[in-house]
């Protein structure tokens, strides 16, 4: 599957479908329909069928999708049939919370390295991984064979660090810093801004107050 052939909005929904299918698997459902997936995912059946059609000829008309087979297919499309090695850059409260989260390994990710600039944290244990100095960033990323960098640093240093991250060969960055990053064309960046999401929720509350 070529990434450029699949709409960005579809790519964003694939992990949601996977989560729904894993729930169906847990509920011992051998087959699931597009209607059932849509109900679990909060969308509609036509959207589910259209999204899954980008992955190939899946499912059987009038019967539905084999849950085990569809989990395997979406996992392969997402590239998580084997563990992806990731690094957390910035071991503050947010970075520490991410490292202690146990769900990453269940979803195909291994936090293989942690970096920070605080001398008090360097050399300490971060749930089984030793915190390394930010001065060793490029070397550490290469040694840990990191594919994805999670940037959990103040905004003021984010661009400098992402320049170093990409120079070390990392091609995917999850940016938690509240700043837009500039990266080479062959590097994928996903921006997560909690304050923006909170403001969007506040918008809905404000609209309700105007009714």
- Using the predicted structure, report yes or no on whether residue 210 has a pLDDT greater than 80: no
* pLDDT tens digits along 48-90: 999 999 988 887 887 899 999 999 999 999 988 888 999 999 9
* pLDDT tens digits along 3-48: 458 888 999 899 999 999 999 999 999 999 999 999 999 999 999 9
- Tell me what pLDDT residue 25 has: 93
pTM of the shown model:
0.77
Residue 144 near residue 168 (C-beta atoms within 8 A): no
Take residue 30 and report the two structure tokens written for it. 């051998």
* pLDDT tens digits along 94-138: 999 999 888 887 788 999 999 999 999 999 999 999 999 999 999
Question: Strands 84-89 and 148-151: what pairing?
Answer: parallel
- Using the predicted structure, report yes or no on whether residue 211 has a pLDDT greater than 70: no
Other C-beta atoms within 10 Å of 91: how many?
25
Cross-strand partners of 65 = 32
- Tell me what pLDDT residue 2 has: 46
* Cα gap 1→68, rounded to integer Å: 19
- Tell me what pLDDT residue 4 has: 52
> Average pLDDT in the 173-179 region?
92
């Amino acid at each position: 599957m070529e990434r450029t052939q699949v709409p960005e909005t579809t790519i964003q929904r694939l992990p949601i479908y996977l989560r729904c299918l894993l729930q169906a698997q847990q509920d011992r459902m051998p087959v699931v329909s597009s209607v059932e997936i849509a109900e679990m995912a909060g969308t509609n059946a036509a959207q589910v069928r259209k999204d899954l059609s980008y992955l190939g000829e899946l499912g059987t008309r009038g019967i539905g999708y084999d849950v085990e087979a569809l989990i395997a297919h979406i996992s392969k499309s997402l590239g998580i049939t084997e563990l992806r090695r990731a690094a957390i850059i910035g071991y503050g409260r947010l970075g520490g919370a991410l490292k202690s989260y146990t769900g990453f390994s269940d979803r195909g990710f291994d936090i293989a390295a942690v970096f920070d600039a605080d001398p008090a944290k360097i050399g300490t244990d971060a749930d089984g991984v030793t915190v390394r100095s930010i001065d060793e960033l490029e070397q550490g990323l290469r040694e840990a064979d990191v594919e994805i960098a999670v940037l959990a640093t103040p905004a003021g240093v984010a661009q400098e660090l992402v320049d170093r991250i990409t120079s070390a060969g990392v091609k995917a960055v999850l940016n938690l810093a509240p700043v837009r990053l500039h990266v080479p064309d062959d590097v994928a960046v996903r921006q997560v801004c909690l304050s923006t999401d909170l403001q969007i929720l506040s918008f809905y509350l404000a609209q309700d107050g105007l009714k």
